[in-house]
Structure 1
């Protein structure tokens, strides 16, 4: 069972991360207010999540459907928005669509169609991001770079989906310079998407990139949303699913 992190500990970490975000934004000539901090709450208790929201977190990001469902039942996210940021299987979309404010990890037509079908069923407009496999890693989810625009155009044809932008996760082994290159490439994809589709969809405004180890570089590279877990909550304990 993961240990609950105290409000005081989380509040200090939130302040430190926000200060680093401010410095990175100002160094890049950007407004810190245009960058959203998403607390990646994987393997955290409901009480830890409540403490994080009390400490000023406004968006929580969940990686696993099982944890999302449990925290929703606990009403742990009260006062914050919720994003689904992990790999989503088509047979699990019913537990996510309409339950979260945004799904950041749409990476195929098949998954998109499943989300559209469920959104129509529950009569919601679901915000989504397209996940790009920017490092072209076989072991990682995300669409190939050259598939993103076709996916984006498909999203525009789905009446119950609201395409908001792109998400990426660079390779874990990437150096700072490699990360900068990955973030630049993802930013250019985002700009291209806005230019080609913006007349029909003015809501493309989210570029989700950067985690605990690289979020200042992501902000330098144009990110509007950083997903931070370890820097807020400390190293994660092993996850042992029940049942």
Structure 2
């Protein structure tokens, strides 16, 4: 099945309340263009400079999402165009995004990455840390960022009960944070292997790559 057909199938399959982020990391511009031609407008990348090089040559109505771990010294390379940064896991990073957004007279949307998995390799803050951040005076002073929701990555496991519990934890965290920060509306959770379960547990945004573009080639 072609990339375009897979995009259309997913768009028909997903509830209207769920946004599809096509994860195009490591994939060539031609693959992204094919997905674009099928109607997809939101693409996710996990390396800032790779995303910036694709932004330069692809249609300008694409909404670029940074879904990987973000290094503060590289924020400047995407501040001009990025639409949503998924992986904000500390206040220093938020301050840097705010600083770089201000240089371009923009307000950049961000998601707080909550650690829901047991794996040490996964980044993210605790629900308590997120609550403290959103309630702080220092956060209120940041005028060039908007926290619009939360993001989480489940443990890489075949144990669907565990994955379900981790997704549920993110939804519970979202609900509690929404009480103190009413403009939260995005719950970014679920990937190719578990997005249907994520949607059942309240996801409003899924990040799907392999099911669209096939397995990634990290050696090209």
**Same fold? TM cut 0.5:** yes
CA contact (8 A) 1:98 1:126 kept: no
Shift in Å, 1:20: 4.0
Question: Superposed, which structure 2 residues align to 1:168-207 within 5 Å?
Answer: 168-173=152-157, 175-198=159-182, 203-207=183-187
For 2:132 and 2:59, how far apart are their aligned partners in 1? 34
The DSSP-based 3-state class of the residue aligned with 2:87 is strand
CA RMSD of aligned residues (A): 1.6
Q: Tell me the equivalent position of 1:80.
A: 62
1:124 aligns with 2:117: no
Shift of 1:19: 4.3
Deviation at 1:43, TM superposition (A): 0.6
Q: Distance in 2 between matches of 1:48 and 1:78?
A: 16
Counterparts in 2 of 1:88 and 1:212: CA distance versus 1, 3 Å? same
Structure 2, unaligned stretches of length 5 or more? none
- Residue 16 of structure 1, CA deviation: 3.1
TM-score of the superposed pair, with normalisation by structure 1: 0.84
Deviation of the 1:194 alpha carbon: 1.1
Give the Cα separation in 2 of the matches to 1:77 and 1:236.
Answer: 23
Q: Matched residues in 1 for 2:199 and 2:143: separation?
A: 32
Count of residue pairs the alignment pairs up: 218
Distance 1:171 1:16 in 2: 27
1:37 and 2:20 are equivalent in the alignment: yes
Of 121, 125, 138, the match for 1:139 = 121
Residue in structure 2 matching 1:166, options 141, 150, 153: 150
Gaps of 5+ in 1: 1-7, 22-31
Contact kept, 8 Å, 1:125 with 1:160, in 2: the verdict is yes
CA pair 108-239 structure 1, distance change in 2 beyond 3 A: farther
Compute the displacement of 1:125 (Å).
Answer: 0.7
- CA distance in 1 between partners of 2:33 and 2:7 (Å): 14
SS in 2 for 1:227: strand
1:114 equivalent in structure 2: 96
Q: Out of 2, 6, 9, which is 1:9 matched to? A: 2
* d(CA) in 2 for partners of 1:225, 1:157: 28
